[in-house]
């Protein structure tokens, strides 16, 4: 059974997709053992409690320095003894110590087809604003392993979504969530839980889908 900890900052729609995926059997051999948010007001914490998943807030505001926060965050994660960490809209820079400790065992969902519209400054609505400003015809989402860069780790899954005439950043964001994010994040966790993903020379490979 793959033990998963989900890190969140906001509403937790991707967390809900994972919870539903486990319940519906889309994600097999997986248990969500904990949810951690950096924001005590994150609705994601409510979603966790409603589904009887241990949840807590570790906020940088509660510590005297970023180094102490990083230490406490890693301690909190380690307490759950996870096999996989899932960043589901977690708007905090992951400390290098955590990346090293969970190499190729931490994944992130990003709302674009990496390498387009990714890296520093590209998060949330900003991604969709940039895509519309550029006039691209296709956007999407990417699940990737986390490394020391921003959105630079090995890519596991991607799914394309068409841009439609009259799209606003908010409308596009919602379509990318519904058509891509909520599908490929559960799928990636399922593949990892069932030993179908391995990393070689900085690339992720999927066996026998």
What radius of gyration do the chain's Cα atoms show? Answer: 16
Q: How many CB atoms lie within 10 A of CB 207?
A: 10
| Cα–Cα distances in angstroms (integers) from residue 21 to residues 25, 26, 54, 122, in the given order | 6, 5, 18, 27
Structure tokens at 205: 């490979």
Return the ∠ at Cα 51 (arms to 50 and 55), rounded to 5°: 80
- Structural contact between residues 105 and 85, judged by C-beta atoms closer than 8 angstroms: yes
CA 72 to chain centre: 20
Catalytic residue among 110, 128, 144, 190: 110
Q: Is 128 a catalytic residue?
A: no
Residue with tokens 């959105």: 151
64 burial via Cβ count (<10 Å: 0-12, 13-18, 19+)? exposed
C-alpha dist (Å) from residue 156 to 35, 54, 131, 161: 22, 27, 22, 17
| Catalytically active residues, by annotation | 110
């Amino acid at each position: 059974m793959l033990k998963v900890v989900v890190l969140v900052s906001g509403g937790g729609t991707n967390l809900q997709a994972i919870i539903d995926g486990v319940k519906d059997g889309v994600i097999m051999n997986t248990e969500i053992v904990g949810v951690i948010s950096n924001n005590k007001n994150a609705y994601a914490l409510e979603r966790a409690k409603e589904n009887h998943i241990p949840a807590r807030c570790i906020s940088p505001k509660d510590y005297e320095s970023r180094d102490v926060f990083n230490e406490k965050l890693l301690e909190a994660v380690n307490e759950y003894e996870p096999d996989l960490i899932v960043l589901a809209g977690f708007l905090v820079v992951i400390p290098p110590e955590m990346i090293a400790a969970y190499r190729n065992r931490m994944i992130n969902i990003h709302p674009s087809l990496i390498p387009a519209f990714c890296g520093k400054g590209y998060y949330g609505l900003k991604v969709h604003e940039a895509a519309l400003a550029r006039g691209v015809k296709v956007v999407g989402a990417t699940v990737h392993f986390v490394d020391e860069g921003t959105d630079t780790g090995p890519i596991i899954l991607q799914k394309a979504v068409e841009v439609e005439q009259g799209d606003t950043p908010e409308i596009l964001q919602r379509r990318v969530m519904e058509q891509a994010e909520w599908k490929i994040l559960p799928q990636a966790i399922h593949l990892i839980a069932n030993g179908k993903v391995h990393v070689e020379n900085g690339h992720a490979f999927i066996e026998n889908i």
